Amino acid sequence: MATRPTSKAVTAVDAYIGEKIRGLRNTRNISQEELGRMLGLSFQQIQKYEKGHNRITSSRLQEIARILECEVADLLPEHKGKRSRKLSNLDRIAATRDGMKLIDSFVGIKNEVMRAAVVELARRFSGH
């Protein structure tokens, strides 16, 4: 017989929500410390939310969505069957510091030939 997680056990959904928060926070140039301050929390607590180690209450999720200027549903993996539980590649890259640096740098390249060269280099490194 399968055991059900306790109400306090974190799940893959908690990790998904955390990554979405991290990605949106990064795209808005808000540090963990700043978000924590706006919520009355430590940056360590924000870090735990983003890593999916701690669950986020619905009221806290609503506060976070307001600060990140999005809908609560944008942070959830599935809403009436319309969302995937898998993060998009854009969400995954935005959720990393290096990913945001790469996006900012790539957008700054005005020469189309150079941009194509960067894409080709990334494609080769990734093995695709």
pLDDT surpasses 90 at 2? no
**Cα–Cα dist 32/117, whole Å:** 34
Per-residue pLDDT, 117: 92
Per-residue pLDDT, 32: 96
Q: What are the Cα distances from residue 75, in Å, to 19, 81, 105, 125?
A: 9, 14, 26, 31
Is the whole model's pTM more than 0.75, yes or no? no
For the residues 18-31, what does the mean pLDDT come to? 92
Number of Cβ within a 10 Å radius of residue 10: 15
Is residue 24 domain-shared with residue 37, that is, in the same domain? yes
Is residue 68 domain-shared with residue 115, that is, in the same domain? no
Q: Give per-residue pLDDT as tens, 64-90.
A: 999 999 999 889 887 555 555 566 777
The residue among 47 and 96 whose pLDDT is bigger is 47
Contacts for 36 with CB less than 8 Å, ≥ 6 apart: 42, 43, 44, 45, 46
Phi, psi of 11 (to 5 degrees): -130, 180
Residue 82 within any structural domain of the chain: no
Residue 102 within any structural domain of the chain: yes
Is residue 109 domain-shared with residue 62, that is, in the same domain? no
For the residues 6-16, what does the mean pLDDT come to? 78
Residue 19 sits in which domain range? Answer: 9-77+87-95
Cα 55 to chain center, whole Å? 15
pLDDT surpasses 80 at 26? yes
Number of domains forming the structure of the chain: 2
For the residues 19-29, what does the mean pLDDT come to? 92
Average pLDDT taken over every residue of the chain = 86
